[in-house]
């Protein structure tokens, strides 16, 4: 994990990083979903609404399909620029909807890697807050709650980093006396998604399998990089 001095005196910020998780779904859209893009344009909706609606009809675990979200290398827990994305478990039963769900689940497994490091350091998350584009998806929030085994909330602010900078500026200019005061005055929880025990138990089995894949493929990633760069 990255460890930084916090803006609040005496506190620390621990951060795990998975490269561009929302960007992986955007890659999938751009590479494989031109039909859905055209249909969404005709219907006047976001294409992600169509993709996640299809993925919601697929059972948790995508019927044995796993996705390693390393299209741009990885930082946490594997600082490996050669790591690459992988679909594993593909069969004739799988559709595009299965692939979408596998991407959502794989990215969430990747985020859980950081959470597990925190848990190993005896840091328990009482609440997990979703922000950014992925936080707008009810399906993705439910997948996160089930994979993490903890409630996932959304707040009244979608763009967390930019809003955080604005709050720090407010503290710096004296608008607020402290960072906690600024947060308490402006941020509120608007929804909570609770984990489902039976799905969490299923995802636990899938996560253990997911965790076994990178060590098995690390040498292959290195060989692929050598071939590309030769």
Tens digit of each residue's pLDDT (9 = 90 or more) over 103-120: 999 999 999 999 999 999
pLDDT at 166: 96
Segment 201-206 mean pLDDT: 98
Which residue, among 46, 47, 17, 19, has the nearest Cα to 31 in the 3D structure? 47
> What residues contact residue 228 under an 8 Å CB cut-off, 6+ apart?
none
**pTM (2 d.p.):** 0.93
pLDDT digits over 144-203, tens only? Answer: 999 999 999 999 988 888 999 999 999 999 999 999 999 999 999 999 999 999 999 999
pLDDT digits over 46-83, tens only? Answer: 999 999 999 999 999 999 999 999 999 999 999 999 99
Flag the least confident range among 47-56, 123-132, 209-218.
123-132
Angle formed by the axes of helices 160-172 and 179-186, to 10°? 130
pLDDT: is 19 or 223 the higher one?
A: 223
Rounded distance between C-alpha atoms, residue 37 and residue 2, angstroms: 37
| Under 8 Å between Cβ of 105 and 147 | yes
pLDDT at 131: 80
Report residue 19: phi and psi, to 5°: -65, 120
Q: How many CB atoms lie under 10 A from the CB of residue 65?
A: 22
Segment 202-211 mean pLDDT: 98
Residue 134 has pLDDT above 80, yes or no: no
Strands (E), the chain: 2-5, 12-15, 66-68, 86-88, 128-130, 152-155, 189-193
pLDDT at 140: 94
Q: How many CB atoms lie under 10 A from the CB of residue 201?
A: 11
| Under 8 Å between Cβ of 131 and 158 | yes
Q: Which long-range contacts (CB under 8 A, 24 or more apart) does 195-201 make?
A: 195/145, 195/146, 195/148, 195/149, 195/150, 195/151, 196/142, 196/145, 196/146, 199/60, 199/146, 200/146, 200/147, 200/149
Segment 92-97 mean pLDDT: 97
pLDDT at 181: 96
Exposure letters 123-148 (e unless 16+ CB within 10 A, then b): eeeeebebbebbbbbebbbbbbbbbb
pLDDT at 127: 82
């Amino acid at each position: 994990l990255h460890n930084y001095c916090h803006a609040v005196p005496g506190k620390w910020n621990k951060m795990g990083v998975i490269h561009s998780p929302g960007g992986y779904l955007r890659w999938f859209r751009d590479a494989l979903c031109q039909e859905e893009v055209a249909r969404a344009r005709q219907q006047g909706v976001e294409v992600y609404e169509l993709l996640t609606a299809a993925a919601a009809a697929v059972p948790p675990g995508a019927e044995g399909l796993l996705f390693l979200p390393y299209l741009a290398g990885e930082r946490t827990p594997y600082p490996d620029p050669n790591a690459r994305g992988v679909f594993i478990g593909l069969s004739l039963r799988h559709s595009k909807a299965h692939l979408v769900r596998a991407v959502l689940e794989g990215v969430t497994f990747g985020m859980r890697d950081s959470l597990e490091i925190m848990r190993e350091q005896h840091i328990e998350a009482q609440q997990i807050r979703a922000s950014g584009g992925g936080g707008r998806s009810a399906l993705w929030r439910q997948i996160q709650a089930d994979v993490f085994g903890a409630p996932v909330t959304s707040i009244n602010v979608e763009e967390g980093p930019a809003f955080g900078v604005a709050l720090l500026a407010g503290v710096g200019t004296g608008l607020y006396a402290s960072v906690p005061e600024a947060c308490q005055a402006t941020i509120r929880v608007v929804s909570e998604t609770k984990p489902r025990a039976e799905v969490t138990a299923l995802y636990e089995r899938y996560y253990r399998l997911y965790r076994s894949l990178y060590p098995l493929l690390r040498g292959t990633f290195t060989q692929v990089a050598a071939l590309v760069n030769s």
